Structures are given as structure tokens and as C-alpha cells.
Amino acid sequence: MKPLVEIDSLAVDFTTPDGVVNAVRGVGFKVEPGEILGIVGESGSGKSVSCRALLGLLPRHARVGGRIVYDGRELSTLTPAELAAVRGRQVSMIFQNPSSHLDPLMTIGEQVAEPMKFHFGLDRRAARRRALELLEVVRIQDAGTRMNAYPHELSGGMKQRVLIACALACEPRLLLADEPTTALDVTVQAGILRLLRTLNRERGLSMILVSHDLGVVAEVCDRVVVMRGGEVVEQGTVTDVVRQPRNAYTRELIDSQPGRLEMSSGRHARPAPLLEVKGLRVRFARRGGTVAFGGDKTQGIDALADVSLDVHAGETFGIVGESGSGKSTLARAVLGLVDTSAGSIRYDGRALAGLDKSERARFRRDVQMVFQSPYDSLNPRMRVLDAIAEPIWRHRLADPGEAGERAAELMDMVELSPALARRKPRQLSGGQCQRVAIARALALSPRLLIADEVTSALDVTIQAQVLRLLARLKEMRDLTIIYISHDLAVVRRFCNRVAVLKQGRLMEVGYTRTVFESPSSEYTRELIASAPDLDALRGGAVPA
Amino acid sequence: MIDATAGPAPAPRRPGTAEIAVGGIILLGWLVMALGADWIAPYDPNAIDLRGILGAPSPAHPFGTDQLGRDVLSRVLHGARIDIWMGLVGVLAPLAIGIAVGLVSGYFGGAVDMAMMRLVDITVAFPFFILVIAIVGVLGPGLMNYFIALALVAWVAYARLIRAEVLVLKRAEFVDAARTLGFPHRVILFRHVLPNALGPILIYAWTDALLVILAGASLGFLGLGAQPPTAEWGVMIADGQPYVIQAWWICFFPGLAAVTLGLGLILVSDGLARRHQVDQ
């Protein structure tokens, strides 16, 4: 069978003020009719650029070389009109952030109907009828009424479904999906991936799925292209690539998958509770209304409701949940960054509410946090070394000169080159920034370290490095770690015990093994089932 | 340790450099002329020569002479002192008040914020220039009273800008990090929040300096600012107004001076703004 798309020695150059950047070099792959091709790679690998080159979606200063053949016709030989027909009707694309691709002032029904009026000349009523059918195809419940909703009334997953419906409107033969589930919760992601597979099976829709997540690719795709630094390093069927990777980088990528990480979760915890949370409730004033006057707390929403748990000294305690589960709020409540409405938090046997000034200072040294966004958690105007040294001399643990020396030692401990000491955060990579944040948190020799989604903004190989670093530091400095994450695979490898939160309520808490092998709540079961898993290859079937 | 050594190097060329350089040269030139007016100016700015009134520009008097025979060039140079001084003080005083109010208001919020912002609302409800004129009118004409009026009125713009920045910054993770590290509010405010909030305010301040100078010149023109015989550009233009048909140079050269000084300020402000945009 003739391939639907054939890309050969594709090269994309960007002209920037600092010279020409080769974003992509010598890239070649094929998409057979009816197959789902995965392109996997980390940030800067050129996976999105390759995909966009096909649609002509690159910025004007990009130069594209090589051959792109669609359905037997080379795109560079087509007239602009023919090209527009291919790109408008035969190939559609969906994106990572559906919100920015939907018009906020148009109902979703109109948005899906619009391209059909334009391309097929359907009248308003026919287009609307067709739009309703499409919204049902993408499994929007109660599509008839939802058609009149505006994008802001829908959840992220629903918006992505609407965007898929828009993409299907012109009955394309090829769908390009660029990180379609990256911004979504794992249970929602599972639904979208299921939908993509169904569309592929039932309509014979070919797809290119671009993703940083090998697990997602393995669940959906037949074949996979692995990219790095603008080049294809390996391609083949998913089963072959995952089971017998030939390229060293592919192997590193696979070994970095959280499910594959070789990591001991550390010594068994001493059963003494270091942190006790009892009946904790955090209530936020409802948005809108009278927030300007301090908000009405009785009309608020509970970010956390009646949460009780203990964290033992020396353990790694995982807190898992989707967005809105209250997992970060819990961390912020422990640190006193948000006010609690009810319940108590005890640290080392003492209630936080009753600490006097010196005990409070002691607590501030003992409990530290590493935040989610590598760049946002560092003062952009402070040099790396100064940022790490600042807590040391401000707490009068050393004079500024000595604090600088200790900061240099800390940089060494988190495996940062001394050459970076005088850089500002902006001049570092995400992984490096996160190491700086860890070093700063360790500067006061804390006993409890709270890590809130510390690796979710990082590439998977960097994530593996940071996790190994945390595991090593935990042993070395006898830390207790609270690890907050949406990623079950990481928590499973990394934590001794785990708590599962949903919408501010504690679903269950227990030893990681028990929770994962015999979850006691329905929600935990769903969460575990939704997580993409490399070892549960569902793709791999060669297209018929 | 792949990511510990690699990383983007510092950018070699920063945008806005050309604007800042040209604007800076103009401003520096004016500063030198203002400070060195005593040596550069060919005549005493207040020396009256009734035999040479309304003299057209000539080798002896390159910018001509005014209705009292005073050398316009010398007066423009000495006037620069007053006008630059006006821009400096007229910006720094409101800036200081605005920063203090904006920081406290934005960071602590609550009742303090409410009170401060209502005060801001009341102040901005009046047209800026009318309010300045009214205050100067009550206090009496003169430069000092102009500064007082400015400080009372112009701080609101700075307070609002700073407050808006602080509201965003206090939710930044590095501010949370500073709190979890146990830093006192004072340290968080001045070391972590303020330096990051200053960018847009400083850009605005350069433009504001121009407005302050022009407003001061206008007050001079109205007789409410610097008082004659002080050489001040606004006063000079006011003095030359009745003679503008016969002796255009009396008004033209102080006006040209104000325009070039303003150009320098705008260029620097633009350059800083472009640089700030890239930094974000």
C-alpha cells in the first residue's frame, strides 16, 4: 500500500538574531493509511516542528528543505490553491492547549459548524445538524444543549473533545495531534486517548501523535519515531522499540520512565510521627461577590475538607491527586502559606498554632519546600549562589562570606557545576533551576522537605536525574520527604506511603504497595487504571 | 549529570541598546551644559542690555537677545539647570511616596489597601494639571510649592503601578519560597518583591520626567512656577510671547531645548521598555 505521508530528509532552519538554528535535520518517516504514528522526544527535539512543517504552520522566518509527499503528490510542486485544499481539508490538527484554539465569543456548536459552511457550502441548519453529530462522535454528553455553551463553560477535557470535533468537520484523512493530553488530568487523558483510538479504528483516520510521554505513545500508536536534537534516532513498531531499543538515547528514555526507574524508596520509616494533620479544613472565599471586602468565608468552597494523616520521620510520603484535589493546598497549609479554617497541624508533637517566636523560627528552618515551576521559584534578579546562600546568613547560621562557601558545597551536592554560580535563573535550564531550588531548600538543614510537583515541568530524562538526586539526598541528610505529584508511576517508585486526594477529600492513605495493589477506593482504582503504562503495551498491532 | 554543565549562555546583544545610547548621549549633553553653564554661557543670563534688545541671532549672540537685551543662549543654558532639577525632584518625590504606598497596599492588602486605594481614586478623579495649579494657587507661586503639589498629586500613578506589580509578584513561587525560608516581611518586600516590581515603574518614570518638566514649564508660563527673572524655559517662552512676530528666537530656542531634552528622556524610556519586554 502506498504511504499516506512520506517525509524525506526534512530540514528546518530558523534565522534568529544569533545566527541560523537548525531545528530539524535529515528527518524522514512515513505514515501508512489507517495507522497511528507516534513521534516522541523531549523539549527541543524538533518533534513539533517536523509535524508543523507538514501543515505549513511554521513561522515565516523558517526555511524548510527536503521532500514532503502527501498521497503521492509532493507538496512543493502544488499550486497554493491545491496546497490549501490539502492542508485545509485532508489534514487537521489538534493542539496541547485547546482553550487558545477556541474562540471565546462563539458557542461550540458554531465553532464546529463554521468550517463546514466554509468548505462544503452547507447552509446554517445542515451545518448545525452535522456539528451535533460530530459532538456526539467525540462523546460530548448531552451534546444538544452543550452546543449552545461557550468554551469557558467547559472543562479542559471537553474543550479538547470540541477541538477534535472541529478537526473532524472536514473529514480529514490525517489528524496531527500535538501533545493533545499534556495539559489534562490522567483520568481525562485516558478518555481522550480512548477516543483517538476509536476514531482511528472506526473511521480509518490516520494520525500522527506527538508526545513527550512514551507511555502515551505506547498506549495508542502502532509505530513510533524517536527524535532528539532535531534528528530521528530510531523508528519502528512500538513493541520493537520499547522491548529492544537499538539506540542508546532510546534506552535512556525508556529507563527514565518513572515505572522503570531503579530506585529504592529508602530505609524503612521509624513509626514516630513527625507531622500530624487532624481534621484539616481550608476554605477559600468564593470567587466574585465580595472578595474586595475580605470575602465571605461561610459562602466559600472547601479546598480541603476534614483531612487527617500522619507523616513518619524518615519516610517518603506521597500525596497523589488530580488538579483541584487540594494536594498543593495541603502543603501550603502545613507551611502556613494559607490560613486553615479548622483542624490542627502538629509538627514534632507541638501544635503549629501555638508556637512561640523562637519555636516558629526553628520550624521555618526544619520544614522546607521545593516548588513546581523551576523558573518561577527563584528570584529572577538573584545570582544562583546568592540565592542559596541567602537563607544561611539571614538565619545567622554563618556570616555572608562563609554562607557563600556553604552554598558552593550545596551546589556541589546537587551536582551543579561551580561555573554556574554567577548565573541568573534565566540563564539556566529547567533541570538546573530545580537543582538550585533543592540546594536552597537544603541550606537550612531541614528535617522535612516538601516537594510539590518538582519534576512535572521537566523532561523525563531530567526528571529521572532529579528523582535520583532526591533519593540520594534523603539517605545522606536523613530527610523526611513529602512528595506531591499527579504522576502515579513516580509516586509508586519513590514513596513508602501514599495518600490519595480527590476534590479536597482524603480517599485513602496507606503503604504504597497496598494502595497500588489493592486500592480500597473506587477513585484510586480508576486513577491507577488511567495512568499510561509502558509495560501494558496495547498498541503494537501492525495495521491491517 | 547531563544538564549540569550545558545551558544557554548569556545573550550577547540586548534590544533597546541603540535607543538608550542615543537618549543617554542627549541627556548627558544637557547635564554637562546645565552643570557647566557658568563656564559655557558667553554672558550672565540676567545681564540686561537695553541697547541690544530683540537682537536677531548673530555671531555675538548666536540665539539672539530678548526684550531686555539678555543673551538667549546663556539663558537657555542656565534654564537647563532649573528644568533638569525640576524633572529630577518632580519624579523622585512622588516615586518615593508611590513606592511606599504601593508596596504596603499591594503586599498586605486588606483594610490598608482599601483606604489607600480610595485615596488614589479621589486623587485621580481630578484632572492632574488642574489639581496641581489649584494646590500651587493655594500655596503660592514658586518652584518649591510646585514640587509639593507634584508630590501630593503624582504619587498615585506610581502607587497604582507598584501595587499592580506587587499583586502579581506576591503570588510568585519565589515569594512563597522566601516565606517558607522564614524571611521577615521587610526582607521579602525590599529584597525579593521591590527589585522585580521596579522595571515598569522606572520606564514610566523617564516619561513622567518629561511630563513634569513640561508641566513645570507650563506653570512658569502661567507665572505660577519659577519666578522671573529666573532663567527657566517656560518663563522664557512666556516672556517672549508678546514679541513672537518680531523676535521668534526668544520662544523658539527654549522650546527647542525642551523638545531635545524630552526626546532624550523618551528614547531612554523606550529602550528600557523594549529591554524589559525581552527580560520577561
Q: What is the pLDDT of residues B2-53, one digit of tens each?
A: 343 334 444 445 788 888 999 999 999 999 998 988 888 888 888 787 887 8
pLDDT digits (tens, 9 = 90+) for A464-503: 888 988 988 888 888 999 999 988 888 888 899 999 999 8
Q: Which percentage of chain B shows pLDDT scores above 70? A: 94
> What pLDDT does B175 receive?
93
| CA dihedral sign, ordered A255, A259, A265, A268 | negative
pLDDT digits (tens, 9 = 90+) for A407-453: 999 999 888 989 899 988 888 888 899 999 999 999 999 999 999 98
Interface probe, candidates B2, B165, B169, B174, chain A, greatest A C-beta count within 10 A: B174
Nearest CB among A18, A377, A417 relative to B174 is that of A377
pLDDT digits (tens, 9 = 90+) for B211-239: 888 888 888 888 888 887 788 888 888 88
C-alpha cell at position A129: 445538524
CB contact under 8 A, B173 and A371: yes
Most confident of A98-107, A279-288, A326-335: A326-335
Amino acid in position B56: A
Q: Which residue has the cell 501533545?
A: A179
Nearest-angstrom CA–CA distance, A344 and A331: 14
CB contact under 8 A, A391 and B183: yes
| CA dihedral sign, ordered A300, A305, A310, A313 | negative
Q: Which percentage of chain A shows pLDDT scores above 70? A: 94
E-strand spans in B9-150? none
Q: Kindly state the average pLDDT of the residues B56-81.
A: 87
| CA dihedral sign, ordered B267, B273, B274, B279 | positive
> What pLDDT does A22 receive?
84
> What pLDDT does A38 receive?
93
Q: Are B206 and B158 in contact (CB under 8 A)?
A: no
- Residue A300's Cβ-side half-sphere holds a number of Cα atoms within 13 Å equal to 17
Nearest-angstrom CA–CA distance, B65 and B75: 10
Q: Which percentage of chain A shows pLDDT scores above 90? A: 29
For residue A377, the chain B residues in CB contact (below 8 A) are 173-174, 176-177
Nearest-angstrom CA–CA distance, B203 and B157: 13
CB contact under 8 A, B3 and A462: yes
Nearest-angstrom CA–CA distance, A33 and A174: 8
For residue B279, the chain A residues in CB contact (below 8 A) are 380, 426
Nearest-angstrom CA–CA distance, B117 and B145: 25
CB contact under 8 A, B176 and A369: yes
Q: Are A224 and A236 in contact (CB under 8 A)?
A: yes
Residue of A nearest to B6 (CA): A429
Query: Which has the minimum average pLDDT: A198-212, A379-393, B201-215, B253-267?
Result: B201-215
For residue A394, the chain B residues in CB contact (below 8 A) are 181-183, 187
C-alpha cell at position B193: 518583591
pLDDT digits (tens, 9 = 90+) for A379-396: 998 999 999 999 999 998
A369 interface with B at CB cutoff 8 Å? yes
Q: Which residue has the cell 502506498?
A: A2
B5 interface with A at CB cutoff 8 Å? yes
> What pLDDT does A529 receive?
87
Q: Are A24 and A47 in contact (CB under 8 A)?
A: no
pLDDT band at B174 (very low <50, low <70, confident <90, very high): very high
pLDDT digits (tens, 9 = 90+) for A18-34: 778 888 888 999 999 99
Which residues 54-113 of B have a C-beta within 8 angstroms of A? 110
> What pLDDT does B11 receive?
45
Q: Using DSSP, state whether B49 is helix, strand or coil.
A: coil
> What pLDDT does B17 receive?
86
pLDDT digits (tens, 9 = 90+) for A351-387: 888 888 888 889 999 999 999 888 889 999 899 999 9
For residue A293, the chain B residues in CB contact (below 8 A) are 114
Q: Are B40 and B33 in contact (CB under 8 A)?
A: yes
B171 interface with A at CB cutoff 8 Å? no
Q: Are A205 and A222 in contact (CB under 8 A)?
A: no
CA distance A391 to chain B (A): 6
Phi, psi dihedrals of residue A450, rounded to the nearest 5°: -105, 120
Q: Using DSSP, state whether B149 is helix, strand or coil.
A: helix
Q: Kindly state the average pLDDT of the residues A310-322.
A: 91
Q: Kindly state the average pLDDT of the residues B114-136.
A: 90
CB contact under 8 A, A337 and B183: no
> What pLDDT does B8 receive?
44
A365 interface with B at CB cutoff 8 Å? yes
CA distance A293 to chain B (A): 8
pLDDT digits (tens, 9 = 90+) for A203-217: 889 999 999 888 889
Nearest-angstrom CA–CA distance, A238 and A222: 6
**More reliable by pLDDT, B1 or A47:** A47
CB contact under 8 A, B7 and A337: no
CB contact under 8 A, B7 and A427: yes
pLDDT band at B278 (very low <50, low <70, confident <90, very high): low
> What pLDDT does B53 receive?
81
Residue A142 has pLDDT above 90, yes or no: no
C-alpha cell at position A517: 495493589
Q: Which of A399, A345, A394 is closest to A365 using CA atoms?
A: A394
CA distance A530 to chain B (A): 30
**More reliable by pLDDT, A166 or A289:** A166
pLDDT band at A540 (very low <50, low <70, confident <90, very high): very low
Q: In what order do the strands lie in the sheet with A73-74?
A: A19-31, A5-16, A62-70, A73-74
Residue B280 has pLDDT above 90, yes or no: no
> What pLDDT does A298 receive?
55
B1 interface with A at CB cutoff 8 Å? yes
C-alpha cell at position A2: 502506498
Q: Which of A35, A540, A530 is closest to A242 using CA atoms?
A: A540
Q: Are A264 and A496 in contact (CB under 8 A)?
A: no
Nearest CB among A379, A426, A427 relative to B192 is that of A379
Q: Kindly state the average pLDDT of the residues A99-118.
A: 86
Interface probe, candidates A347, A381, A395, chain B, greatest B C-beta count within 10 A: A381
User: Please, where are the H alpha helices in A204-305?
Assistant: 214-220, 238-243, 248-256
Which residues 24-63 of A have a C-beta within 8 angstroms of B? none
> What pLDDT does A287 receive?
52
Q: A161 to each of A1, A39, A165, A211, how far by Cα in Å?
A: 31, 21, 6, 18
CB contact under 8 A, A372 and B173: yes
Nearest CB among A380, A428, A431 relative to B196 is that of A380
Amino acid in position B21: A
Q: Using DSSP, state whether A499 is helix, strand or coil.
A: strand
Residue A454 has pLDDT above 80, yes or no: yes
Q: Are A458 and A258 in contact (CB under 8 A)?
A: no
Q: A20 to each of A530, B141, B254, how far by Cα in Å?
A: 42, 62, 49
Residue A297 has pLDDT above 60, yes or no: no
Query: Whole-number mean pLDDT of chain B?
Result: 86
Q: What angle do the packed helices A108-120 and A156-168 form, to 10 degrees?
A: 10
Nearest-angstrom CA–CA distance, B73 and B68: 14
CB contact under 8 A, A364 and B195: no
A484 interface with B at CB cutoff 8 Å? no
> What pLDDT does A270 receive?
66
CB contact under 8 A, B176 and A380: no
Q: Which of B168, B167, B191 is closest to B178 using CA atoms?
A: B191
Residue A90 has pLDDT above 70, yes or no: yes
C-alpha cell at position B135: 494646590
- Per-residue exposure over B203-231, b if at least 16 CB sit within 10 Å of its own CB, e if not: bbbbbbbbbbbbbbbbbbbeebbbeeebb
Cβ–Cβ pairs < 8 A, chains A and B: 96
CB contact under 8 A, A432 and B7: yes
Other Cβ atoms closer than 10 A to B59? 5
Which residues 402-421 of A have a C-beta within 8 angstroms of B? 415-417, 419-420
CB contact under 8 A, B177 and A437: yes
CB contact under 8 A, B279 and A367: no
Query: Which has the minimum average pLDDT: A85-89, A109-113, A327-331?
Result: A85-89
Query: Whole-number mean pLDDT of chain A?
Result: 86
Q: Are A450 and A368 in contact (CB under 8 A)?
A: yes
Which residues 324-353 of A have a C-beta within 8 angstroms of B? 332, 335-337
Residue of A nearest to B173 (CA): A377
CB contact under 8 A, B4 and A426: no
CB contact under 8 A, B7 and A428: yes
Nearest CB among B3, B13, B110 relative to A17 is that of B13
A462 interface with B at CB cutoff 8 Å? yes
For residue A390, the chain B residues in CB contact (below 8 A) are 181
CB contact under 8 A, A377 and B177: yes
Phi, psi dihedrals of residue B79, rounded to the nearest 5°: -60, -30
Nearest-angstrom CA–CA distance, A390 and A407: 9
Nearest-angstrom CA–CA distance, B135 and B151: 11
CB contact under 8 A, B174 and A378: yes
Dihedral of the CA atoms A499, A500, A503, A504 (nearest 10)? -10
Residue of A nearest to B198 (CA): A381
Residues 6+ apart with CB under 8 A from B123: B131, B153, B156
For residue A465, the chain B residues in CB contact (below 8 A) are 1-3
- A342-347 and A350-351 as β-strands: parallel, antiparallel, unpaired? antiparallel
For residue A367, the chain B residues in CB contact (below 8 A) are 180
> What pLDDT does A405 receive?
93
